[in-house]
Structure 1
Amino acid sequence: MKDIIFNGVPWFDQNGNTVNAHGACIVREHDTYYLFGEYKTDDKNMYNGFSCYSSKNLADWKFEGMALTPDADKMLYPDRVGERVKVVKSRKAENYVMLMHTDNMQYSDPCIGVAVSNKINGRYKFIGPLMYKGEKVRKWDMGTFIDEDGTAYLMTHEGNIYRLNDECTQAEELVAENISPGGESPAMCKHDGKYYIMFSNKTGWDNNDNYYLTADNINGPWENQGLFCPQGSATYNTQCSYIFDFQIEDKIIKMYLGDRWSYPKQASSATLVMLPLEFENGKMSISEYMQAWSADDVSEFKEQQLISYKFYSNKKSESREIQFCGERISLFGKASNEGGYCRLDIMDRANNIVKTDIINFYGTAPMSGVRYVSPKLERADYVLRITVLSESGEWFTKDGMRYGSQDCYVDIYGYSVDDF
């Protein structure tokens, strides 16, 4: 069985727990990829710590532990916000530096924070705010980029780019300013000598058509190149978060990492999407969405034996059951702006629940495909029970604009069963 990365579904760690890492980054160290992200809850958008996971293949994840936890004496404590965690390696101190957006719950006290660790997968120590010319960098949505010469940069909402010092603990120079008014969640890469930076528009937890700019020099001038995914796809129902290098033998592939948010049930239902970026004649794109792809060669993986199964409902507590025998079950359905949450219970022959998950059928743009892939099970007879929760996400941006689902439908059209 090939190592397959499934996009937009819950991933699971070595213990069968849902991978909980959002607003994330992936850092490669030797032959291992480390995923850092916001450790979310399902009830409140507050700082709960930053998690760390590791993988050799991007398909199988090991929970390394909490890289940074709430601290009552620091800027990151319960009832505050901690977001957009990014980790870079200091080329001078040869340690690891974590940068993040800290804030109060009203988003009126933004500041970039700094934490350090001697090990990439160790516990990080918060050391204070990021400073520039003696003042705190009071920005929120942020990203990081390491140039080919090892120089580290911080990018912020609206398009400010700061060069960091060699220790990556202070900002030394504002190299570009306000290059993307209205943009947030920046991510950057360099390909064939050209710089590419992508941004999301501001729609709260909702997805939108993200866009990118290019420059021959990181100082600019920067030129807006438009969208990098098909118009109307809402960036395949994701928000850009990070660009990392994925290595296959001697080949490096620039990989897009995007968040598929699921407010308010972020811990259980928010997912990640990884897709290879394409470059041609100074342009960048993701021309097609892959539900799943092989880590061996980044080729698309397509399910061969889909069993038709129809269930479409928004009625609270209405349920259906699928009996299966195997080691893994996948569920296929349609996401739309009328979608909502359902609970999945996998039960053994004795009717004991062996796994429970919550998945979301909401999508800014309509999308059909895989919605759930269970963790590997012991081969046996099981029942998958699907229960409509009659719940969906709704949120408002700072200007009072409403976003989210118009209803709470669960829309399933098939499943598949695997044996390894």
Structure 2
Amino acid sequence: MRLKYSIIISFICAIMFSQNKEFEPGKEWKDTDGVHINAHGGGILFVDGTYYWYGEHKTEGKGGNTSLVGFSCYSSKDLYNWKNEGIVLKAEENPNSEITKGCIMERPKVIFNEKTKKYLMWFHLELKNQGYNAAKAAVAISDNPKGPFKFYKSYRPNKGVWPMNFKEENKTSSPNEDKLKSWSSEWLTAVNDGMLVRRDFKKGQMSRDMTVYVDENQKAYLIHSSEDNLTLHISELTDDYLDFTEKWARMAPAGHNEAPAIFKKEGIYYMITSGCTGWDPNEARSFSSKSIFGPWKSLGNPCIGEDAGLTFHSQSTYILPIFGKKDQFIFMADRWKPENPIDGSYIWLPITITNEKPVLKWAEKWNLNAFTENQ
């Protein structure tokens, strides 16, 4: 009898926690087990009618931003209700592993390779006890969107390769540039002219906050904060999405951008980023270009309304194309809680385009009916 009632109660709870019919940005978002979703700094992949949300599994306390567990995965048919699929890339017990427990693993983004039929998870990796000095891009592989993913390799991208259209005169260091005062006009000019590219040329460029984008021609790109977070780099991946082609470009040199998120509409690429203020929110930036490699045009803050200057107290992580709704996108962002990372919440908002500029308006509640029904 006790077992019977337990089954009934479990069934009722499952029903109760599967009835989300709208988004409530910033509020606690429970999965189908009734637990707050733990998928921070995440990205989403759509496969055969199902959305998969990958993110950082945070833990409690100030140490919760180090990777003690790994990357989580949730699945959904409707984007409102998410089932916990477990940890799909685990932080390892082996102290010699690059992804050993206590390292930093951030911003997982999964893409599918049509040629190899493999799922590739790219992420930002920092080695244990090294703070943010390693600044690596890493990739893991799986045969299934639910994982498990197997760690493959980490990189400092574009080792020994100059960016496209880098001026010949900028390949040589300027006299005394290493003695310039940080943030002086002379120092910013030197950064713009590639001082930090030259510094990291032999060992490879830095890669911190990042996202991955697959274009219509199946070419894939890693977009990552580099040069001490002062400049974004756009790096083309090889056909198997496991390495770099040595074709890359700088974006907004010395602009101090991180948290890149990208989408494309009617032949125009749009990107939303944040400034660099640690865990504290700041004013978002937006850009557009007719080529993935630029030139990129600055469009200013895409947010409108109260708290627009703080991106509604959040930071961008991904822009999600909605399946079945042509050219409709959701802006995904995180409200970080550094004092207790597991409590971090999520900001999802619809993106509109006005005069070829992305616009984000705050909504306490909304659903997919906010989008037009273009198929």
TM range (shorter): 0.7 to 0.9
Structure 2 letter corresponding to 1:83:
E
- Does the CA-based 8 Å contact 2:32-2:82 persist in structure 1? yes
Q: Kindly indicate whether residue 222 of structure 2 is the aligned counterpart of residue 154 of structure 1.
A: yes
Q: Which residue of 2 aligns with 1:257?
A: 332
Match of 1:291 among 364, 369, 373: 364
Q: Kindly indicate whether residue 319 of structure 2 is the aligned counterpart of residue 243 of structure 1.
A: yes
Q: Kindly indicate whether residue 115 of structure 2 is the aligned counterpart of residue 67 of structure 1.
A: no
Unaligned runs of 5+ in 2: 1-18, 161-202, 226-230
Taking the TM superposition and a 5 Å limit, the aligned residue runs for 1:286-325 are: 286=360, 288-295=361-368, 297-298=369-370
**Shift of the alpha carbon at 1:138?**
3.1
- Does the CA-based 8 Å contact 1:115-1:125 persist in structure 2? yes
Deviation digits for residues 290-342 of structure 1, max 9, x if unmatched?
122123x137xxxxxxxxxxxxxxxxxxxxxxxxxxxxxxxxxxxxxxxxxxx
- Does the CA-based 8 Å contact 2:265-2:327 persist in structure 1? no
Structure 1 letter corresponding to 2:67:
Y
Larger displacement relative to structure 2 (119-128 or 89-98): 89-98
Deviation digits for residues 360-391 of structure 1, max 9, x if unmatched?
xxxxxxxxxxxxxxxxxxxxxxxxxxxxxxxx
Unaligned runs of 5+ in 1: 300-420
- 1:188 and 1:176 mapped to 2: Cα distance? 16
Structure 2 letter corresponding to 1:207:
P
Deviation digits for residues 83-135 of structure 1, max 9, x if unmatched?
11111111321110001111134211221111000011110000111353576
**Shift of the alpha carbon at 1:51?**
0.2
Structure 1 letter corresponding to 2:118:
N
Structure 1 letter corresponding to 2:109:
K
Structure 2 letter corresponding to 1:14:
T
Structure 2 letter corresponding to 1:15:
D
Larger displacement relative to structure 2 (166-175 or 80-89): 166-175
Distance 1:137 1:115, change over 3 A: farther
Q: Which residue of 1 aligns with 2:107?
A: 84
Q: Which residue of 2 aligns with 1:188?
A: 262
Structure 2 letter corresponding to 1:13:
D
More strand by share: 1
Q: Kindly indicate whether residue 244 of structure 2 is the aligned counterpart of residue 166 of structure 1.
A: no
Structure 1 letter corresponding to 2:55:
G
Aligned with 2:312: secondary structure? helix
- Does the CA-based 8 Å contact 1:132-1:170 persist in structure 2? no
Structure 1 letter corresponding to 2:348:
M
Structure 1 letter corresponding to 2:99:
L
Q: Which residue of 1 aligns with 2:186?
A: none
- TM (normalized to structure 1)? 0.67
**Shift of the alpha carbon at 1:216?**
0.9
Distance 1:114 1:136, change over 3 A: farther
Q: Which residue of 1 aligns with 2:183?
A: none
Q: Which residue of 2 aligns with 1:93?
A: 116
Deviation digits for residues 383-407 of structure 1, max 9, x if unmatched?
xxxxxxxxxxxxxxxxxxxxxxxxx
- 1:123 and 1:182 mapped to 2: Cα distance? 35
Taking the TM superposition and a 5 Å limit, the aligned residue runs for 1:21-40 are: 21-40=39-58
- RMSD over equivalenced CA pairs, Å: 1.8
- 1:78 and 1:2 mapped to 2: Cα distance? 34
Structure 1 letter corresponding to 2:83:
K
Q: Which residue of 2 aligns with 1:17?
A: 35
**Shift of the alpha carbon at 1:160?**
0.5
- Does the CA-based 8 Å contact 1:129-1:137 persist in structure 2? no
Aligned with 1:284: secondary structure? strand
- 1:164 and 1:136 mapped to 2: Cα distance? 15
- 2:206 and 2:302 mapped to 1: Cα distance? 29
Q: Which residue of 2 aligns with 1:358?
A: none
Q: Which residue of 2 aligns with 1:274?
A: 348
- 2:204 and 2:151 mapped to 1: Cα distance? 15
Q: Which residue of 1 aligns with 2:189?
A: none
Q: Which residue of 1 aligns with 2:71?
A: 50
Structure 2 letter corresponding to 1:50:
F
- Does the CA-based 8 Å contact 1:129-1:136 persist in structure 2? no
Distance 1:163 1:203, change over 3 A: same
- Does the CA-based 8 Å contact 2:119-2:143 persist in structure 1? yes
- Does the CA-based 8 Å contact 2:123-2:139 persist in structure 1? yes
- Does the CA-based 8 Å contact 2:115-2:240 persist in structure 1? yes
- 2:233 and 2:85 mapped to 1: Cα distance? 33
Deviant stretches of 4+, over 6 Å? none
Equivalent residue pairs, number: 295
Q: Give the fraction of aligned pairs with identical amino acids, expressed as a percent.
A: 31
Q: Kindly indicate whether residue 178 of structure 2 is the aligned counterpart of residue 103 of structure 1.
A: no
Deviation digits for residues 202-234 of structure 1, max 9, x if unmatched?
111111111011111112111111110037521
Distance 1:133 1:263, change over 3 A: closer
Structure 1 letter corresponding to 2:104:
V
Q: Which residue of 2 aligns with 1:175?
A: 248
- Does the CA-based 8 Å contact 2:251-2:296 persist in structure 1? no
**Shift of the alpha carbon at 1:81?**
0.7
Aligned with 2:147: secondary structure? coil
Q: Kindly indicate whether residue 292 of structure 2 is the aligned counterpart of residue 218 of structure 1.
A: yes
